[in-house]
Amino acid sequence: MIRYYSKMSESDKKLWIENLFSKIDENPEIKSKTAVFGYNDEKLDEGKGLFQKFSKSLDLTTETKTESLTAHSSFVTLFDLVVSEYDVIRDIADVAFKNIPDKYIKLGLNLPPKTKQSDSLKTIDNFLKVALNDDEILELLRKYSYSKEKIEELKKLSERTIQSYSKFYGENSDYHAEVADKKTNAEKMEAYLKDFVKILRAIFGKDEKVIKLLRLDSF
């Protein structure tokens, strides 16, 4: 059963194109005939250049996707940890400052929970900044067994999580940009191949040996 180019995996497409150009280069007779129809060395080099861009974009997206997934996994781990720790101190503060309106509002305890991760991180970071810069807040939290040292540790964790968030979304943006480039390169490569294969079939349509050698029956 023939597996057509359009249905091939990206790695199989690379192998198909590599086979096409290498077999033509290895067979002077084939090469001389294609040159008569406009596919001389210059035109073949154009196709090879498109293939290099196509191949490189495939490798880049694979590498960047791996980096993006790694960054995401790291961020999720930190995010879950910082939110879990924050929930504890927030519950304590909710009780400690419910009758001290100015501190309650200053800590953002009057605000509803955030749904976006970025907003949650801002809320947590603001809470910790406010707490660390207000001696009265620190003193009351200490009475509830939440020391300044613990808040400082949580602040460090918050900062690491924010950095991890930025790294993840940076990697993710790179990945999507490279996916767009890959799509463009793939389209240019396929447009070149469609025209080239038409010419090859016009020249070698009755030569089964060349058809099989160049795998034209699968395009």
Q: What is the pLDDT of residues 54-77, one digit of tens each?
A: 888 877 666 666 666 777 788 889
pLDDT in the model for residue 74: 85
Average pLDDT score over residue span 166-173: 69
DSSP letter at 3?
-
pLDDT in the model for residue 60: 67
Q: What is the pLDDT of residues 63-116, one digit of tens each?
A: 666 666 777 788 889 999 999 999 999 999 999 999 999 999 999 999 998 888
**Residue 134, CA atoms < 13 Å, CB-side half-sphere:** 15
First to last CA, the chain: 13
Residue 170 pLDDT > 90, yes or no?
Answer: no
* 172: its two tokens: 């993710």
pLDDT-derived band at 183 (thresholds 50, 70, 90) equals: confident
pLDDT in the model for residue 171: 61
The domain total for the chain is 1
Spatial separation of the C-alpha atoms in residues 121 and 156, rounded to whole Å: 12
Structural domain boundaries enclosing 52: 5-218
pLDDT in the model for residue 165: 85
* 193: its two tokens: 């191949």
Per-residue exposure over 193-209, b if at least 16 CB sit within 10 Å of its own CB, e if not: beebeebbbebbeeeee
pLDDT in the model for residue 11: 85
Q: Look up residue 28 and give its amino acid.
A: P
- The answer for residues whose C-beta is within 8 angstroms of residue 72's C-beta and 6 or more apart is 168, 171, 172
Residue 153 pLDDT > 90, yes or no?
Answer: yes
